Chain A
Amino acid sequence: MNFHLILFLAFGAVCVGGAVNLLAQRHPINSALSLIAVMAALAGEYLLLGAEFVAAVQVIVYAGAIMVLFVFVIMLLNAGEEEETKGSRVAILFGVPGMLIASVLMAWVVLRHSGTEAVAIGALPGNPTDLAQLLFHDFLLPFEVTSVLILIAIMGAVVLASKPDSTAGKVE
């Protein structure tokens, strides 16, 4: 068992532990903080797999920007501790076995049937040059079209969040 594998398993354990803690915590801010742990551990996993660019982006975008948004939303909504309801107990009753079955099934399919062989670390493209080639050449159109997607998302948010005009849409 080399050091690399030990690190990989350690990050994996942090990742799974963080994810479980995310669900187990009652207060949203605790859940958000454990999500940061999950994101950071995932970045470590990417780094170990030789995808240093994806690891950096993971830290900047997810652990950085998106988590700040999460925390802001929690702060603005003033979300408190959630209560255990009948519904949440039923969800646990069905959700936990369902999740276990789904993950066992998924693991079985991936391990037994995908037909993929082990790949040396760093052998798969993952450096910035490869990504730039994909993003600005092969996937240029999807990349550009995303701007339309973002535009309508912003527009939609403005439309739905704006106050309805006092004269508009009123039934006389």
Chain B
Amino acid sequence: MNAAMIIGPFLPAYSRILPQSADYVRVLPEIVLSIFGMIVMVLEPLIDEKKSQKVLGGIALAGALAGLMATWLMAQSPGMAFWNTVQIDGFSVFFHILVTAIAAVVILTSYEYMSVQRIRAGEYYALILFGAVGMALMSSAIELVLIFIALEISSISSYVLAGFRRREASSAEASLKYFLLGSFATAFFLYGVALMFGATGSTNIDQIGKTLLAGPIPLLAFAAMAFMFVGLGFKVAAAPFHVWTPDVYEGSPAPIVGFMSTAPKAAAFAVLLRIVFVINVPGKFWLIWISAALSMTLGNVGALVQNNVKRLLAYSSIAHAGYLLVAFAASPGLGTSAAMFYTAAYAAMNLGAFAVVSHFANAGERYVNLEDYEGLGRSSPLLAAALTIFLLSLIGIPMTGGFFAKFYVFSAAVKANMIWLTIIGVLNSGIGAYYYLRIIVAMYMRESRRDVPVTPVPTALAVAIAFCMAATLYLGIFPGETLRYAQDSAQQLVQSSAETPASTAPLIVPATLRP
């Protein structure tokens, strides 16, 4: 008598209780990334330390690429999984691709950095992969409890990664600061979840949206929204919860800063998009308006006086969080697609910029000040050219991804009649141009005053930079494809929520710039 005969009569009951194979397919990227993370962990003590850099990095890279493939499989079966805790739609697929691609680029960037800085490899790559698990899950989870756990996975891996330059006091400071303030912010988020449960009797985002739409909105829901915004605002480094950013970015390893400033932010923005547009609590408008205006202004003004390039880019990332938040105050359809496009473009250009910075920093990250970049245009023209393109994209010059990202966000804001916020945003972009240009001017128009060694660019890093550059230029010259995808999935997302479908009229693109 075999097992099938015994459980045969109970099969219908079992199939109700047990997760189906479709459930597993819908979390396949997370499963694949976790498995590769564990392989890296297990192999680390078995491999000779001299070889471990290359081998473990290779396995981690294979893991990230396998995660991308798993995402493709996952995209074939959209729907809910695990009893309405996970929802796979165009929106979550978009952020899955973004997060795993970021992880792959960061792993490529880290190859050289790790050996130059002499950092042990094993846990480093495993933490990147596990962090990606959390971030990917944040984008597909529609259950606040699951979102909280995924957020913690992404945060804790970032806290540890920030402290990987073990010999530097500044890295320990970054890790500890990030950990203490981050735990505080997560507690805010969790409190918000609890209050939301108190207000609506559910922790499922769809369910909460329906409950709030059906009846009078309890006062608790406003408090819940505010608390959750504090928690997520910290994670995306939006003002007034941004104070940690410069110190943490300055102390952390440069490739990790590239990672921290893009992947967890993208995931937190994905959560915020779902919360803001699906739950749709009134009162969020001013919350976001003020935070967006503050982030843009404080970020850009703070960046003006920075001399350390990592700090400068930290303030710039605060400013970019502000631009992105502008999209959240717009109408759901336009706002979501503009925000999605912006996160992708921002990830490409910022990762690229930090890849260049991490190569240039050299052992012990000695060369991270503006003076060190003087004369780089002559001593290393290709590297300087790449950095110039990323910086131009961060300014928002046409032909780069940054231009269309800003353009879509601001046009969504104008359509929602937020003239003042748009004016603040455009003025801030002008201020922003100054400090990005300062780096470019230093590279091309100044003679090198210090003896800064320029090492040849290794293949892995060259691939990473080339990929970021290709993505930046692709989004700047042919934004149509990505934007259409973002608009479609935004429409899906908005329609799946209980509210009336928003206008999804195509954005006006100036004729000359139309792809």
- Contact status A155-B160, CB under 8 Å: yes
- Contact status A168-B118, CB under 8 Å: yes
B370 proximal to A (CB < 8 A): no
B54 proximal to A (CB < 8 A): no
Per the bound structure, the CA–CA distance linking A39 and B117 in Å amounts to: 47
Other-chain residue from B34, B123, B223, B364 in contact with A155 (beta carbon distance below 8 A) = B123
A83 proximal to B (CB < 8 A): no
A109 proximal to B (CB < 8 A): yes
Interface string of B147-162 (1 = CB under 8 A from A): 0011011001101100
Per the bound structure, the CA–CA distance linking A138 and B81 in Å amounts to: 11
Per the bound structure, the CA–CA distance linking A151 and B17 in Å amounts to: 27
- Contact status B167-A151, CB under 8 Å: no
A-side contacts of B85, CB under 8 Å? 138-139, 141-142
A89 proximal to B (CB < 8 A): no
> How many residue pairs at the A-B interface have CB separations less than 8 Å?
106
B133 proximal to A (CB < 8 A): yes
A4 proximal to B (CB < 8 A): no
Per the bound structure, the CA–CA distance linking A115 and B143 in Å amounts to: 24
B166 proximal to A (CB < 8 A): yes
B394 proximal to A (CB < 8 A): no
- Contact status A139-B145, CB under 8 Å: yes
- Contact status B163-A160, CB under 8 Å: yes
- Contact status B175-A155, CB under 8 Å: no
A77 proximal to B (CB < 8 A): no
In the complex, chain B residues 149-185 whose Cβ is within 8 Å of any chain A Cβ: 149-150, 152-153, 156-157, 159-160, 163-168, 175
Per the bound structure, the CA–CA distance linking A169 and B116 in Å amounts to: 8
A-side contacts of B159, CB under 8 Å? 156
- For residue A144, give the distance in angstroms from its CB to the closest CB of chain B: 9
Can you name the residue of chain B whose Cβ is closest to the Cβ of A112? B219
If A114-B199, A114-B220, A168-B120 touch, whether A156 touches B160 (CB-CB below 8 Å) is yes
B453 proximal to A (CB < 8 A): no
- For residue B27, give the distance in angstroms from its CB to the closest CB of chain A: 7
B126 proximal to A (CB < 8 A): yes
If A141-B86, A145-B137 touch, whether A168 touches B166 (CB-CB below 8 Å) is yes
- For residue B270, give the distance in angstroms from its CB to the closest CB of chain A: 17
B146 proximal to A (CB < 8 A): yes
- Contact status A152-B19, CB under 8 Å: no
B-side contacts of A109, CB under 8 Å? 219-220, 223
- Contact status B149-A149, CB under 8 Å: yes
B41 proximal to A (CB < 8 A): yes
A-side contacts of B143, CB under 8 Å? 139, 142
The winner among A115, A152, A156, A160 for most chain B CB atoms within 10 A is: A152
- For residue B113, give the distance in angstroms from its CB to the closest CB of chain A: 12
- Contact status B218-A152, CB under 8 Å: no
Per the bound structure, the CA–CA distance linking A41 and B19 in Å amounts to: 39
- Contact status B83-A155, CB under 8 Å: no
B residues apposed to A, CB below 8 Å: 17, 19, 27, 30, 34, 41, 81-83, 85-86, 117-120, 123, 126-127, 130-131, 133-134, 137, 143, 145-146, 149-150, 152-153, 156-157, 159-160, 163-168, 175, 198-199, 218-220, 223, 363-364, 366
A residues apposed to B, CB below 8 Å: 109-110, 113-116, 137-142, 145-146, 148-149, 151-153, 155-156, 158-160, 164-165, 167-172
